[in-house]
Chain A
Amino acid sequence: MIELQGLTKCYGDTRVVDDISLTVEQGEFCVLIGPSGCGKSTTLKMINRLIAHSGGKVLVGGDDVTTLPPERLRRRIGYAIQSIGLFPHWRVADNIATVPRLLKWPASRIAERVDELLALFQLDTDGLHDKYPHQLSGGQAQRVGVARALAADPDVLLMDEPFGAVDPLTRDALQVELSRVHRQTGKTIVFVTHDMDEALRLASRVALLNGGQLVQYDRPAELLVAPANDFVRDFIGRADLGLKLLSRRRVEEYSRAAQRTRNNALASASITWQVDADDRPMALLGGRLGEPDTARTVVTPEWTATPDMSMKEALSRMVWFRVTALPVLDSEGRLLGEVTMSGVMGHRP
């Protein structure tokens, strides 16, 4: 979908981007990462020609970007930056409608598309449609920014540290949401960040840059287990490698069928879930270290898991509540399965 061929940018004698070649396939989530001044942002902006390149080529959907007028090119590519990039004098709906209006869509189609996007980002409440950016929370403003970038249904979405200015909790929620939107829409995304955890969490491929050069371009798991050199190892951080790997894994890949019982009687397995008539888990029988298999632990929401939770979070909950298994629940609170220590160790059922 996007192809960089020997892309170079010089300011005077300094090469801020030096001969970068990489290909981002359709539907891929590519994260450009590296220390400050490594050229990641410059590389991103050369894709939609906000910065002109000095050498090499950029192909988007097979077309050389220099063959199109820059305005037309940019209307085909979504672009999202930190929330301050919203137009302060336009309401939320007008902000989202920016590119469709530039493309002169009919008003009815624009209104329809805005409603669709507000729903996709769960912004269709509290009359947000008519609010001004300063009336939004940081998380809401950021969602509007991403919605605006997606408005004209571009195939490619460029994001320049979009979550840099929000608090960690909101950032977490936004990352989960962006992953969901990426899965739902299948867009090709190029995302710039300096936060390795964010990269590992979101990316299907990570491009690690240093001094304007591409150091390694790989799947996140490969980056962790097979770093190209010491720089990569240092940048990822030598500590917590196991936890970083777990943060890439999702509970649904490692959960297994659960043993159920309707009464207090212990079933054959050492870990058994007592469920109510609606299949909601009420208690865990057994499954605690150092206690007899008959121990009964009442299930509380704090130590349950959902299919899209990371294994790192699941492990954290096991440690904190001192259980060796978590119930995996669907959105209605029904028992889907269980995730255990052997899942944490990487054992797939």
Chain B
Amino acid sequence: MSIGALTHPPSSRRFLLIAHSALLIALVLGMEQLAPMFRALFPDQDPAMYQRESFLNLTLAHLALVLLSSLISVSVGVAAGLFVTRPAGREFEPLVSTLAAIGQTFPPAAVLAIVVPIAGFGFVPTLVALVLYGLLPVVQNTVAGLGTVPSQTLEAARGNGMSTWQILWHIELPLAMRVIIAGVRVSVIINIGTATIGSTVGATTLGTPIIAGLVGNNLPYVIQGAILVGLLAIVTDLAFERLERRFSFGEEGNAA
């Protein structure tokens, strides 16, 4: 989905972001206007329009789930990444990396199967699955990003009288930010897609029409849910790309 974004110059990438955002908002608010089209395309399906809940509510619930899970993943992931790159936590690096990797190798469906008996149906088990699933890219990129800061830069910072906290805040984090944001980007994009699975255990997401469509053999439902999830992922990806470019010191992005 980001092939266009890679080959187009920044100005047209900005246009892509605006165009996709506009399309997303239009579809979220006005999917019902397309009812005649779906009826024409799928004459045998009745109803051809998902109407049990508004798409606006589904999208907001989806976003809330992704936002909250990403917030937790990023806080925990960055904190863990910071901890294992400090002198005090260095020996825990392999352990934390392994734990984060296990979190991602576990299929989200399996996590749901384990968490549902403990936490019940709906929002909570989905949140747990998404948090575990989104952790690895954040931890990995935090460690990698902090590792790209040249040791001479750190020595210069120390030699000029910065304290450990000042070095972390003014030097290490800004310089690692681009790579960290790239990790957050991957994590959020994965979660936007994975959140749909939450609907199998009763969470309200854009996956709800998809699951309903799959169960009831209703293709229009699947399309209506999937197109919104897809657009949401594209818009988020393009937005993160712009954010990342702000932190590209010493490369094309920030030079101008």
Contact = CB atoms under 8 A, between A and B. Distances in A.
A163 interface: no
Contacts of A109: none
A105 to B, nearest CB: 13
B75 interface: no
Interface residues of B, number: 20
B98 interface: no
B152 interface: yes
B162 A102 contact: yes
Interface stretch (A14-22, A30-38, A79-87): A79-87
Given A132-B254, A135-B255, A85 B162 contact: no
B159 A102 contact: no
Interface string B227-256: 000000000000000000000011000110
A86 B153 CA distance: 6
B35 interface: no
A148 interface: yes
Nearest to B159: A79
A84 B166 CA distance: 19
A88 B251 CA distance: 10
A85 B156 contact: yes
B152 A89 contact: no
A45 to B, nearest CB: 8
Interface in A44-101: 48, 50, 71-75, 79, 81-82, 84-89, 98-99
A71 B152 contact: no
A79 B150 CA distance: 17
A133 B250 CA distance: 8
Contacts of A98: 160, 162
A132 B157 CA distance: 17
A27 B215 CA distance: 85
A30 B23 CA distance: 69
B155 A85 contact: yes
Interface of A: 48, 50, 71-75, 79, 81-82, 84-89, 98-99, 102, 132-135, 148-149, 158
Q: Which 4 A-B pairs have the closest CB atoms?
A: A85-B156, A79-B159, A75-B161, A74-B161
10 contacts: A50-B155, A50-B159, A71-B162, A74-B158, A74-B159, A75-B160, A75-B161, A82-B152, A89-B250, A148-B160
Given A71-B163, A148-B160, 7 more contacts: A48-B159, A71-B162, A75-B160, A84-B153, A89-B174, A89-B250, A132-B254
